[in-house]
Amino acid sequence: MMTILKNASLSFVLSGGILATCGGCSSVMTHSGGEQGYYSGTKSSMTTLKDEDTSWAMMPMVALDVPFSAMLDTLLLPYDYYRVHSDHHNT
């Protein structure tokens, strides 16, 4: 019984870790790039979903990324606020 619980908890931790590192890819890309603004990763994902040139193979991955990008963008709101307002003071 303990072996089953150990295997189940290990697979749960590994699955959660993989989802955590893969989730929010659009947010990570937009926040590490030059794009400014609030919820930039979610906006990028939604733009990709609405684009007719997006391949059918990318659509499910982008659709899965949207909630994770929204969650990461929400966590990064204080950073976005600081970044947007520090740019206004520098110009």
Question: What are the pLDDT tens digits along the chain (91 aa)?
Answer: 556 656 667 666 666 555 555 566 788 778 777 767 888 888 988 998 899 998 888 888 888 888 988 998 899 889 888 888 876 666 5
Token digits for 24? 């929010």
Token digits for 37? 């603004």
Helix, coil or strand: residue 91: coil
